[in-house]
Amino acid sequence: MEITWYGNSCFRITERSMPTVVTDPYDHASAGFKALKLKADIVSVSHDAPGHNFVKGAKGASWEIRGAGEYEIGGVFVTGVAIKEGKDTNLVFTFDYGGVTVCHLGDMRSVPSRAQVEALGSVHVLLVPVGGGNALSAAKAAEVIAMIEPGIVVPMHYKVDGSNLKLNPLKQFLQEMGLSKEKAEPSLKITSSSVPSETKVVVLDVAS
């Protein structure tokens, strides 16, 4: 499996001979990144905002998932869990590829209940917002990670050069996790046998 980050909360998840997933595609005018030109079989949208719902940024998708429920698409098991955030609803998605399960927390704002965490099941890779704004602060993100106990954590939704989004920098999250500056990787490549036993933070570059 390969996971590539395109800024904000947008990732592409690919696995050989299985459907490609794109999460939370953004309108580049609102986010400040380059226009998305991705191809996908499945697009997930955590909530209805320009920084997360621009499905035209992912061409060819046969499935557009905007609601809670369980879906089986080409061997990928997708679960959407709705979490109320004040007057709004945020969708947390898990993508089970039959060996590696990826969880995308969307624009989660507050620490979930134990029951909500248990509904996610076992998570190997956690895509977590860390930059505050309308989502988790660095401190709350660290608390959520401790509850979910994933093998790998990939931070998202934080301030990067060129973005219009008013978010906090990654440095604050790394400090909460007891880390110094981490080298950014172009993508995350992972198999079921390479998931670490203790939680590891992997920082990704914004793909061009």
**pLDDT of 178-207, one tens digit each?**
998 888 999 999 999 999 999 999 999 999
Confidence of residue 50 (pLDDT cuts 50, 70, 90): low
Residue-wise pLDDT for 69-124, tens only, equals 999 999 999 999 998 877 888 999 999 998 899 999 999 999 999 999 999 999 99
CATH number where 8 lies: 3.60.15.10
State which residues form the domain around 47: 2-186
Question: What share of the chain has pLDDT > 70, as a percent?
Answer: 99
> Would you say residue 88 lies in a domain?
yes
Query: How many CA atoms does the CB half-sphere of 101 hold within 13 Å?
Result: 16
CA distances from 159 to 65, 138, 173 (A): 27, 12, 11
Q: Could you tell me if residue 191 is inside a domain?
A: no
Instruction: DSSP letter for 204, please.
Output: B
Say what the pTM is: 0.94
The answer to whether residue 50 is domain-embedded is yes
Q: Structural domain tally of the chain?
A: 1
| Residue 116 is assigned to a structural domain of this protein | yes
What DSSP assignment string belongs to 28-68? HHHH-SPPP-EE-SEEE-SSSSTTT--GGGEET-SEEE-SS
In a domain, 194, yes or no: no
**Residue 201 domain flag:** no
Model confidence at 154, pLDDT cuts 50, 70, 90, reads very high
